[in-house]
């Protein structure tokens, strides 16, 4: 399957459906983005059941801002409409495949319970400072931040 261009007009529609959507935030002037593109494309061909989207951060600055994209490429995984992973950095092919496996293995009922508990906790008296700089922090924990070791 080829990658899908994601824009402000279609992003919510594509990412809110059931299943897995991987999103590559990139720009044409970004060397690591350009080098990662063939890996991402090969993975899209191996996994036709997954939607592989690409957001050109130059053309879609509002989307990049909405998700706090500060470094590209940034890879985001959305499953059943929930952002379950977001991390800057091009992933080597084995790390991308590992990320896909981890996202496929997630128990989404458990992820939703954790998110609900996190939201409820946010409305009570905080015991530690809350971090809100990463939009997918709860989900990253669920995905066990597997590819973090793949960055060099």
d(CA 46, CA 77): 16
Token pair belonging to 137:
């922090």
C-alpha dist (Å) from residue 137 to 39, 71, 144:
25, 16, 10
Catalytic residue list contains 33: yes
Catalytic site residue from 30, 34, 37, 115: 30
Annotated catalytic residue within 6, 21, 22, 33: 33
* Tokens at 101, concatenated: 């496996």
* Active site residues per annotation: 30, 33
């Amino acid at each position: 399957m080829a990658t899908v261009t994601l824009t402000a007009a279609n992003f919510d529609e594509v990412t809110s459906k059931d299943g897995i959507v991987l999103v590559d935030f990139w720009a044409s002037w970004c060397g690591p983005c350009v080098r990662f593109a063939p890996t991402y494309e090969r993975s899209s061909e191996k996994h036709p059941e997954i939607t592989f989207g690409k957001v050109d951060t130059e053309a879609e600055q509002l989307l990049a801002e909405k998700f706090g994209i500060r470094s590209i490429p940034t890879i985001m995984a959305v499953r059943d409409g929930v952002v379950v992973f977001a991390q800057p950095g091009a992933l080597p092919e084995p790390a991308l495949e590992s990320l896909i496996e981890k996202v496929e293995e997630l128990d989404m009922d458990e992820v939703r319970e954790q998110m609900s508990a996190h939201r409820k906790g946010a409305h009570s008296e905080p015991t530690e400072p809350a971090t809100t700089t990463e939009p997918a922090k709860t989900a990253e924990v669920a995905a066990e931040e597997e590819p973090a070791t793949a960055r060099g």
